[in-house]
Amino acid sequence: MVASETLALHLAGIRCPNFVDARIGEARLAIHMTARRAAAAGAPDHGVVIADSPNGFPCRHCLRWARPGERVILFPYAAIPPGHPYSESGPIFVHAEPCERYSATRKYPADFRNGRAFRAYNANYDMIDAEMANGSEPEAVIEKLLQNPETAFVHARSVTRGCYTFGVERI
């Protein structure tokens, strides 16, 4: 991707609810750690499952597919905070064991080039545009959505299941 200076991107597995800062901070890491604690405590909405296919269990922390045999935690996550028309809670996965968070900037996560829908939102959490990309140029789709000055952030979601994958914001 050739990102312009004004459209530098930050890709992150799990986003801070207010999308304010451009780096992963404690609030984002807490979601990952909270999921582990909740699963260990037996929370009914935090199930531990064993990945049984190579492309069915996307970790939202390291932004890679869990390998068959790896344990992942399945739990509900609200990518848009409650109280907004586009708020929704949906299932996401994180590795049950520690994994390194995805921290690259200006680099699209290789495992998620296929089957992604991108939704652009304004600062009021209203969806203002959406587009699909499948393999060839997801970076171009993201850059196009961010060219709209009203776009505050973009979410990537699974085309087939609709699950939140990661967020993109200007830095």
Summarize pLDDT for 74-97 with one digit per residue, the tens: 999 999 999 999 998 999 999 999
Give the pLDDT confidence score for residue 29 in this predicted structure: 56
pLDDT(33) > 90? no
- Find residue 59's DSSP bridge partners: 93
**7: amino acid identity, one letter:** L
DSSP designation for 153: E
Q: Which residue has the higher pLDDT, 134 or 8?
A: 134
Residue 58 CA from chain centroid, whole number: 10
Alpha-carbon gap, residue 161 to 158, rounded angstroms: 5
Q: Are 51 and 66 in contact (CB under 8 A)?
A: yes
pLDDT(134) > 80? no
Q: Which residue has the higher pLDDT, 11 or 60?
A: 60
Average pLDDT score, the chain: 82
pLDDT(28) > 60? no
